[in-house]
Structure 1
Amino acid sequence: MIDEIDIANERIERDLEAAIAAQLARGQGESVSLDGICCDCGGAIEPARLAALHGCTVRCAACAQQFQHHLKPRWRL
C-alpha cells in the first residue's frame, strides 16, 4: 500500500525533474559560482557563505532568501 509520504516524494521528484527540464530547455542553466559573484544582484557572495557551502552556491544570502521565499507554495493542505 502506497502511503502519503511515498506519494509526496514522487510528486516532488516529478516536479523537480520538470523544473530542471524546463530550465535546460530555456538554455539558462545555473552553474556554480567560481568567482563568488551572485547571479541575481551581481554583488559578492559572502565569504562565510561560500565556505559553509564549499563554494557551491550562485546567490548571496539576501538573494538566496528571496529566491527560497518565492519557491514556497502559497497553499497548504
Structure 2
Amino acid sequence: MSNEQKVKEKINQKLYIVAYWLASNNLREAVIFLKEFLREDKLVKEVLRKILKDMWSLEIEITDEIIEKLISGA
C-alpha cells in the first residue's frame, strides 16, 4: 500500500468516527474531534457543512451562523 493510500485510509477512518457521532446526535464529540483533527476553524465549518448537507439532504443553505450556533452549543 502506497503512502498516499495509507493517508487516505486514515482520513476515511476519522471521517467514519465523525459520521458515527453525528448519527448518534453527539454533535459535541464530532466538533471536538474535528477541531483536533483539522486544527483550523474554517475547515471544521466546511466539513460540518458538507456532512450536514449530505446527511440531512437539506434544501436550505447552511450558513456560517448556523454552523457557529451548532459549534457553540456543542
- The structure number with the bigger radius of gyration is 1
Which structure features the higher share of helix residues?
2
- Larger relative contact order (C-alpha < 8 A, sep ≥ 6)? 2
